[in-house]
């Protein structure tokens, strides 16, 4: 005979009723039976905060208690858990701090606030039995925060590397599969609703940078903030580079890369070539994936939908259940305390090591190649592979030579110096692109 679950009702305050908020309401209504069967919990939405309470909201249950006064949630002692799905930094940050200080547990999907103000949030929650949950802030519906914090907590993590922005992955997939130029792929992504009218946050890598800050902080147990993450976007990637990469057996991705090397942290977001056999290479379209390496677990990959009402609500409500179980049994902390126990140095990008792909255009004259290879040699950068565009299936411009060089592993600073030297060679007309290669 199965043991009957202890029954309890938990009153929730929901901040925000947009894409994610309505997803949360729908999920709680539709799956309340299985949530109750599994946990004995009745998760009751006591109040929902919106900007404009008078606005008609088609599809939203009529009996949902909506307010535009946050005090109805923050000052109500019967509300034990606050779910923040408003987005933006203010007033979301302030509301979360106030809720935590009042002893309410906070569940949030807000990467902007968690990545920048995680320390303040934990400090605010430290005073009572308030906890902080933020599974949905990285990778939407993909469970990765809790696996890193709990399931894999016995490991020493060495790497956390992911495709954590669906917009850029969609654009790069379109460019790779159909040879579309960046601008065209972006316009299509905007028309289909995969990219915002102002795509800066996504295409420049800032969104991925915030998510990496969160992932790296947890994986390496040391706080990394967005300003410490090197970011480079996808706007300079061309179909030509993608085609050359294919010749080398590579696929291009916007990667968020966190590594611990000799006790220091690398945190960087940039386009990178990965071997086409790497698990991340086959993550296409708007999917997200996070690949990790730890000792002794080895390699693990988490794959799924990084956004959308349903997937994100799945993560939010999963957190909500953990939060409610923790509230029901005082002292049972669900392993969600801050794990940032160290203060490891985040290394300067110049000191990061990688292999590099470099494409340049030069005058097609005898002796030019010698000058170019000397520029590499002078900085101690050895060349692993070289392809001359002329005669290949990658087109070159009239009377000019195109050259692609791939280096062995070198420091970023060395490579930057090589680029400077190349730009000083009169026959080198342009250094067209430099892309890191992640093995």
Ligand X SMILES: NC(=O)c1ccc[n+]([C@@H]2O[C@H](COP(=O)([O-])OP(=O)(O)OC[C@H]3O[C@@H](n4cnc5c(N)ncnc54)[C@H](OP(=O)(O)O)[C@@H]3O)[C@@H](O)[C@H]2O)c1
Q: Where on the chain is the footprint of ligand X (CB under 6 A)?
A: 16-21, 49-52, 55, 85-87, 91, 109-111, 136, 140, 307-308, 312
Ramachandran assignment for 304, one of left (phi > 0), alpha (psi -120 to 50 degrees), beta (any other): left
* Cα–Cα separations (whole angstroms), residue 282 to 140, 177, 286, 368, 388: 19, 12, 12, 38, 28
Q: Given the complex with ligand X, which of 93 and 355 has the nearer CB atom?
A: 93
To 10 degrees, what angle do helices 182-191 and 166-178 make? Answer: 130
Ramachandran assignment for 276, one of left (phi > 0), alpha (psi -120 to 50 degrees), beta (any other): alpha
Q: How far is the CB of 50 from ligand X (least distance, A)?
A: 4
Tokens 């850029």, residue located: 168
Tell me the residue number closest to ligand X, measured at CB.
18
Q: How far is the CB of 306 from ligand X (least distance, A)?
A: 7
Q: Given the complex with ligand X, which of 48 and 404 has the nearer CB atom?
A: 48
Q: Residue 69, SS3?
A: coil
Q: How far is the CB of 412 from ligand X (least distance, A)?
A: 30
Q: Given the complex with ligand X, which of 202 and 402 has the nearer CB atom?
A: 202
Q: How far is the CB of 209 from ligand X (least distance, A)?
A: 14
What b/e sequence results for 329-367 when a residue is b if at least 16 CB atoms lie within 10 Å of its CB, and e otherwise?
eeeeebebebbbeeebebbebeebebbbbbbbbbeeeee
Q: Residue 240, SS3?
A: helix
Beta-bridged to residue 47, according to DSSP, are 13
Task: Give the dihedral sign, CA 234/239/243/246.
Answer: positive
Cβ neighbours, 10 Å, residue 249: 12
Q: How far is the CB of 3 from ligand X (least distance, A)?
A: 36
Residue 400 falls in the annotated catalytic set: no
Tokens 């147990």, residue located: 221
What b/e sequence results for 56-81 when a residue is b if at least 16 CB atoms lie within 10 Å of its CB, and e otherwise?
ebeebeeeeebeeebebbbeeeebbb
The span from the CA of 421 to the CA of 412, in Å, is: 14
User: Residue 5 carries which DSSP code?
Assistant: P
Q: Given the complex with ligand X, which of 104 and 111 has the nearer CB atom?
A: 111
Q: Given the complex with ligand X, which of 110 and 251 has the nearer CB atom?
A: 110
DSSP H/E element including 184: helix 182-191
* Cβ atoms 275, 111 nearer than 8 A: no
Q: How far is the CB of 201 from ligand X (least distance, A)?
A: 10
The span from the CA of 140 to the CA of 53, in Å, is: 27
Catalytic pick from 211, 240, 253, 355? Answer: 211
Q: Given the complex with ligand X, which of 110 and 407 has the nearer CB atom?
A: 110
Q: Given the complex with ligand X, which of 49 and 372 has the nearer CB atom?
A: 49
Cβ neighbours, 10 Å, residue 39: 19
Q: How far is the CB of 189 from ligand X (least distance, A)?
A: 15
Give the active site residues: 211
């Amino acid at each position: 005979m199965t043991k009957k679950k202890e029954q309890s009702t938990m009153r929730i305050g929901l901040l925000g009723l947009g894409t994610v908020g309505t997803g949360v309401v729908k999920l709680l209504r539709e799956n309340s039976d299985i949530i109750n069967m599994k946990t004995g919990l009745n998760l009751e939405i006591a109040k929902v905060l919106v900007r404009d309470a008078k606005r008609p909201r088609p599809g939203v249950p009529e009996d949902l208690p909506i307010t535009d006064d946050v005090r109805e949630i923050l000052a109500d002692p019967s509300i034990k858990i606050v779910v923040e799905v408003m987005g933006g930094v203010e007033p979301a940050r302030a509301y979360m701090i106030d809720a935590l200080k009042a002893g309410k547990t906070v569940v949030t999907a807000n990467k902007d606030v968690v990545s920048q103000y995680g320390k303040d949030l934990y400090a605010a929650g430290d005073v009572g039995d308030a906890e902080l949950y933020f599974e949905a802030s990285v990778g939407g519906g993909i469970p990765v925060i809790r696996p890193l914090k709990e399931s894999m907590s016995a490991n020493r993590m060495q790497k956390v590397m992911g495709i954590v922005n669906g917009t850029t992955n969609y654009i790069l997939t379109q460019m790779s599969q159909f040879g579309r130029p960046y601008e065209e792929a972006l316009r299509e992504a905007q028309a289909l609703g995969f990219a915002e009218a102002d795509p800066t946050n996504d295409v420049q890598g800032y969104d991925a940078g915030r998510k990496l800050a969160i992932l790296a902080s947890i994986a390496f147990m040391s706080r990394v903030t967005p300003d410490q993450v090197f970011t480079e976007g996808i706007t300079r990637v061309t179909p030509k580079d993608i085609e050359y990469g294919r010749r080398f057996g590579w696929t291009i991705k916007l990667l968020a890369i966190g590594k611990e090397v000799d006790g220091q942290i690398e945190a960087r977001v940039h386009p990178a070539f990965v071997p086409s056999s790497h698990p991340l290479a086959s993550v296409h379209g708007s999917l997200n994936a996070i690949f990790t390496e730890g000792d002794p677990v080895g390699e693990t990959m988490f794959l799924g939908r990084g956004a959308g009402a349903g997937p994100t609500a799945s993560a939010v409500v999963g957190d909500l259940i953990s939060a409610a179980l923790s509230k029901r049994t005082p002292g049972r902390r669900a392993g969600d305390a801050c794990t940032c126990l160290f203060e490891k140095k985040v290394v300067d990008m110049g000191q990061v090591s990688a292999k590099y792909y470099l494409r340049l255009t030069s005058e097609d004259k005898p002796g030019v190649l010698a000058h170019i290879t000397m520029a590499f040699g002078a900085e101690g950068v050895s060349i692993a592979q070289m392809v001359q565009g002329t005669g290949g299936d990658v087109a070159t411009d009239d009377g000019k030579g195109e050259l692609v060089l791939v280096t062995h592993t070198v420091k970023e600073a060395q490579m930057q110096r090589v680029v400077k030297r190349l730009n000083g060679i009169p026959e080198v007309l342009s250094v067209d692109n430099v892309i890191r290669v992640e093995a």
